[in-house]
Structure 1
Amino acid sequence: MDPALSFYQSLSSVSFTLLGLWFTVLGLSHGGWRRDPALHRSTLHVALHFFLPGVMGLGLGAVLAAGSSVAWRVTFGVLGLVGLVESLLFLRHRGAPVARTVRSLRTLDPLLYAAIVAAVFVPGPVGGAAPLQIEGTATGLLFVVGLCYLWFAFSQRAAPTPVPDGAPPVV
C-alpha cells in the first residue's frame, strides 16, 4: 500500500472522530462556547482543524486510487485556501482575552495553510521531500494544532455559578 494513502486514510479517520469529539465538547460546554460571542467564533476555527484534514485525506484517497496527480493538487489547493482565509479572519478577530500559547497557535495557523497551498505548486522534490510529503507534514501539524485547541477548550474551567443575594453559597 502507498504510504501516503495509508497516512491520509488514518488522518481522515482520526480527524472525523475528533470532529465528533469537538462537537460533543461544545454540546456539553461548561466554558460558554455557545453563549459567549467571543468564544463562539472560535468553534468554527477549531472544527476546521479536523474537518479540512479529514476531507483532504478522503479526497486524496479517492484521487490516488484513480491515479490523478492534478486532482490532489486542486483538492489541497482549494481546501488550503479555505483554511488560509479562515485562519486570517480568525487571526484578525478580537474577542475574549487569549492565553499566549493560544495566540501563538493562532499565528501558526495561516503559515501552515499557506504551506499546504504552496506545496501544490511544487513540481518535484524539495530537499528530498516530495510535494505530497510536504503536504503530509503541513496537514499533520495542522491536525496537531487542532488537538492543542481541543485540549485548551476541554481543560477550560467552568465559570462559577452566580449566587443570588442572601442565598447561601453552593458547595
Structure 2
Amino acid sequence: MGSATTFYQTLTGISFTLLGLWFAVMQFGHGDWRTDPHRHRSTLHIALHFFLPGMLGLGSLLSTPVDGGLVWRTTFVIGASIGVVESVGFIVAPHGPTGGFERTLRGLDPVLYALLLLTAFVPPAMFALSPLQLGGIVTGVLFLTGLCYVWLAFAERPPAPVPPPPPR
C-alpha cells in the first residue's frame, strides 16, 4: 500500500466523520447558525471543506493504474470546480467576515481549489512528487482551512443582547 493510498484512506474517513459531527452540532443548534441566512451559508461552506476532501479521497482510492488516473483526475476536476464556484460565491456574499484571519481564509479558498484543479492536469513525471501526492497536499490544506473555520465558528462571541425598550 502506497503512502498516497494511506493518506487518502485516512483523509476520507476523517473528513466524513467530521462532516457528520459538524452536521450534528448544527442540528442541535449553536447560536443562530440555522436561522440566520448568512450564518447558514457559512455552515454549508464549512461542511464543503469536509465533504469535498472526503469525495476527492474516494475518487483517488477508486482510481487504478489501468485507468491511468482518469477516475481521480475527473473527481478532482469536478470537486475543485465546485469548490472554486462555492468559494468565490462565499467571498462575494454580503455580510462577509470582519476579522483579518477569516478574510485571509476566504481569500485562500479559491486559490487552493484552483491549485487542486491544476493538479489534475499535471503530467506524471513533471515533479519529484506524483500529481496525486501534490493533490493530497492541497487537499490536506483545504481540510485544515475547514478546521480553522470550525474553530472560528466556535470561538465567535454571541451578539450583544438587545436592550429592552424603555418603560412608558
Q: TM-score, normalised by structure 1?
A: 0.87
Q: Distance in 1 between matches of 2:72 and 2:108?
A: 24
Match of 2:128 in 1: 128
Q: Distance in 1 between matches of 2:50 and 2:97?
A: 24
Q: CA deviation at 1:129?
A: 2.0
Moved more, 139-148 or 69-78: 69-78
Contact 1:81–1:117 at 8 Å: present in 2 too?
yes
Q: Secondary structure at the match of 2:31?
A: coil
Match of 1:10 in 2: 10
Tell me: CA distance 1:136–1:96, structure 2 relative to 1, closer, same or farther (3 Å). Answer: closer
Q: CA deviation at 1:157?
A: 2.8
Contact 2:46–2:150 at 8 Å: present in 1 too?
yes
Match of 1:73 in 2: 73
Q: Secondary structure at the match of 2:95?
A: coil
Q: Distance in 1 between matches of 2:125 and 2:85?
A: 27
Please list, as runs of the form range in 1=range in 2, the aligned pairs for 1:11-90 lying within 5 A after superposition: 11-64=11-64, 67-68=66-67, 69-90=69-90
Moved more, 106-115 or 149-158: 149-158
Alignment-mate amino acid for residue 138 of structure 1? V
| RMSD, aligned CA | 2.1
Q: Distance in 1 between matches of 2:43 and 2:80?
A: 19
Unaligned runs of 5+ in 1: 167-171
Q: Distance in 1 between matches of 2:46 and 2:140?
A: 15
Q: TM-score, normalised by structure 2?
A: 0.89
Alignment-mate amino acid for residue 139 of structure 1? T
Q: CA deviation at 1:31?
A: 2.7
Match of 1:114 in 2: 114
Q: Secondary structure at the match of 1:38?
A: helix
